[in-house]
Amino acid sequence: MRGKNRQTDYSVALAGNPNVGKSTIFNALTGLNRHTGNWTGKTVDCGFGIAKIGGKLFKLTDLPGTYSLNSFSEEERIAKDFLLNNNPDCVIITLNSNAIERNLSFALEVLALKKNAVVCLNLSDEAEKNGISIDSKKLSDLLGVPVIKTSAVKKDSLKKLKSVMREACEKSGHSESANDLDTAPSTDTRVLHILSRQICEKCVTKSDKRRVDERTARLDKILTSKATGIPIMLALFALLFWITAIGANYPSELLGTFFDFIKQKLYDLFELMNAPGFLTGILIDGIYTTLSWVVSVMLPPMAIFFPLFSLIEDSGYLPRIAFNLDKAYNKSGVHGKQSLTMAMGLGCNACGVTGCRIIESPKERLIAVLTNNIMPCNGRLPILIAIITIFFTGTAAGLLGSVKTALILLLVIVICVLITLLVSKVLSVCLKKESASGFLLELPPYRKPQFRKTLVRSILDRTIFVLGRAAAVAAPAGAVIWLFANIYIGDSSILKHCTDFFEPFGSFIGLDGVIVMAFILGFPANETVIPIMIMAYSASGVMSDFTSYSELSAMLSANNWSAITAVCMIIMTILHFPCSTTCLTIKKETGSLRQTLLSMLIPTALGIILCAITANIMRMFL
């Protein structure tokens, strides 16, 4: 029996174009939670799951969404190699019933490789509302394989799919071709298109009342317009940043209070156990304090930002952002999809780097990887918000102050985009030349997000996952930071010696030795930069959070911070080496230590140069 092994009875592959609901069907069949989204390129690798149907175990493989099997992109190579080499018992070819003619071209390619398949007409209920009627029986006769209509959110259609899938697997190796049309293997796109049109003429009818999704058309006239598209996008992100900045404050304070309470109890426990001071220091003041800071600072904004960002994904708006920015990216010699990976980088640069897989061209994908860190991640946003609030909006209280902070933060993000485009242009000229890849971007219809699933998925798949990775590197970092602050050489700690060493360099670029050392020790987690600064300025040997912006402002002023320092701090927060988690992700994605080091060198060198220029220009006028 093909595909059979010791764990499962049958092997089933799910194939289809991007944005046809393939991963949603995979989740429904397996009970897993594979990330889905209402935009092209979400599935960039294979997902695996097990489904039990009628006492049999089925191993399901969710292949990357592709438009063809021509092996032009990484997704196409993965999908084609799996179908040829893993020889599944059955292939579920998922089609979008609203775009049946285009989707059929891909189905014909798959059927040329695997006759034992099931064609799944997904989103069939939506197509019927749009006046599209598909004769599934006639389509089945034409293709020579079972064809069923499904809606991934309806249990009855999924139950039927399971039954047909099981029957197809049981007949594996005994299927007969009954095609009325020739589906011989061919890479001639024009031939496939003609065949698809011929099939649609025989089994697809469209009502005169078909809406062609008038709502989507009306919205696109506004959201993708040259006049209104960019302003609306900026306004939306300003609102997103404002909600994140305001909403995260209160839960961060609660978490900070909770962790301080636990910390005091740990002190009491260690004192009761007569634990050595060194052990108390490294475990509580070092590891625990660092972990608690990372959690209390990262968790609230991520728990707000990621769900909101996921809702934007599911609504179908993200591809419109790529569409609006494609011209600017094209002029910079890079791919329009890079705008999507940059948006992902706002949440976590490691996630943004992983998302670069959706870019087909190796050169353009590498540029996207090397520049993703220029977008400030969730770990750096609190630093930016604190500096902006203290030095630029501190006089405006309440709603006005928060709005000003959000607008300035948005301006910073826009500058980050412009810097990314500039650096990308330079890299596109310097790196090995290759022909630019085409940008096939599908604009899916707008859909009402599935709020419950989206919120659960964003919390589990993104917030907890990213937080877990940050905590894993923050724990040992806390120990190292504590050792630097509490091991003395002569009359000064190692940390003091280091900050004194970097003082001349820091002063030249508008910062100081403490800030430079804080960024270096903050490599495992950007969230620890401000606590390290506070520890160094106070010479306490223990990292601590600021209880209010006024308290932090007083400490910074006492240590000779000025507007120059604040501006250079913002520049360096944006332009410095990626955190350890992102570096490890870059190494994994590129397989190259050289490219990983390059990703660290480019933003750091640029940040140092810009800080030096900015500081010395501002000193001439202030």
Q: Extract the tokens encoding 615.
A: 């500081």
Nearest to 246 by CA among 406, 384, 376, 390: 406
pLDDT of residue 327: 80
Hunting for tokens 């670069």 — which residue is that? 356
Q: Extract the tokens encoding 162.
A: 């399971």
Query: 195-204, 467-476, 520-529: which has the highest mean pLDDT?
Result: 195-204
Q: Are 352 and 370 in contact (CB under 8 A)?
A: no
Amino acid at site 138: K
Tell me the residue ranges of DSSP E strands in 98-249.
117-122, 132-134, 147-149, 204-206
Cα separation, 319 vs 446, in Å, equals: 11
Does residue 444 carry a pLDDT above 90? no
Tens of pLDDT, residues 568-617: 999 999 999 998 888 988 998 888 999 999 999 999 999 999 999 999 99
pLDDT-based confidence at 367, cuts 50/70/90? very high
Identify the residue with better confidence: 572 or 352: 572
Nearest to 321 by CA among 413, 211, 402, 435: 413
According to DSSP, the residues that pair with 621 across neighbouring strands are none
According to DSSP, the residues that pair with 119 across neighbouring strands are 93, 147
Q: Extract the tokens encoding 275.
A: 């634990």
Tens of pLDDT, residues 47-66: 788 888 888 889 999 888 88
Nearest to 161 by CA among 152, 173, 170, 171: 152
Cα separation, 67 vs 422, in Å, equals: 31
Range of weakest confidence among 156-170, 335-349, 511-525, 575-589: 335-349
Torsion of CA 20, 23, 25, 29, to 10 degrees: 170
Cα separation, 189 vs 98, in Å, equals: 20
For residue 48, the surrounding DSSP H or E stretch is strand 47-53
Nearest to 513 by CA among 534, 526, 491, 496: 496
Tens of pLDDT, residues 98-124: 888 888 888 998 988 877 899 999 888
Cα separation, 1 vs 520, in Å, equals: 57
Average pLDDT over residues 515-530: 86
Domains and CATH numbers, the chain: 10-209 (3.40.50.300), 229-433+444-621 (no CATH)
Identify the residue with better confidence: 389 or 438: 389
Average pLDDT over residues 279-283: 90
Q: Are 323 and 224 in contact (CB under 8 A)?
A: yes
Count of residues in the chain:
622
List the alpha helices (DSSP H) in 273-391: 277-280, 289-315, 318-331, 338-347, 349-355, 362-371, 381-391
Cα separation, 600 vs 578, in Å, equals: 6
Nearest to 125 by CA among 104, 103, 156, 91: 156
Q: Are 47 and 29 in contact (CB under 8 A)?
A: no
Q: Are 392 and 408 in contact (CB under 8 A)?
A: yes
